[in-house]
Amino acid sequence: MGERKWRYLALGTALVLASLFFVMLLYGVSVGVNLTRSQPYRLFLILGDRPFGRGDLVAFCFPGSRYYEEGTLFVKEVRGGPGDRLEIGEDRTVWLNGAFLDTVRATDSKGRPVEPFYFRGAIPEGFYFLYAGVPNSYDSRYYGLAERERIVGKVIPLF
């Protein structure tokens, strides 16, 4: 291929990518990358300000802890919402709407003690129980309920 054709190909590719980026911004879509084992997916589309419900993956800005800085983007599944009954007790078991969900680990991956988020009652309006059914996942079992204001959008996994 001649030099002129390469230039046209490069220019065409740049225009397509710029157009795609503009359309994504226009519709509130962004891309997220997961570098941990907390989800089986590595690349996501984040659909900002879209409705979501139980079973959907969402991206949210983490409030901060000894493990992650405030504002770290997490992707988790919505398992419980306002009005759902949640119980995380001293025995480290997690029950949602009367059904057993999981347990809370006693130590983290480095052997340090981990305290669960103890809770018993109805999830209040504007809060969600976020979960990832992966053994080492850092989710609402540990950091508590996620506020609606921190949820960035619904997530569509790509791969």
CATH number at residue 138: 2.10.109.10
Instruction: Confirm whether 140 is domain-assigned.
Output: yes
| Chain position carrying tokens 């078991």 | 93
| Residue 151 placed within a domain | yes
The answer to whether residue 26 is domain-embedded is no
pLDDT value at residue 10: 83
Q: Is 106 exposed, middle or buried (0-12, 13-18, 19+ CB in 10 A)?
A: exposed
User: For the chain (length 159 residues), average pLDDT per consecutive 10?
Assistant: 81 78 70 74 84 94 92 93 97 97 93 94 98 87 96 90
Separation of alpha carbons 38 and 108, rounded Å: 14
Domain ranges, residue 40 = 34-157
The reply to whether 38 falls in a domain is: yes
Domain count, the chain: 1
Contact 107, 114 (CB under 8 A): yes
Residue 152 CB contacts under 8 Å (≥ 6 apart), including other chains: 46, 48, 58, 59, 60, 61, 73
Structure tokens, 13: 């590719």
106 within domain boundaries: yes
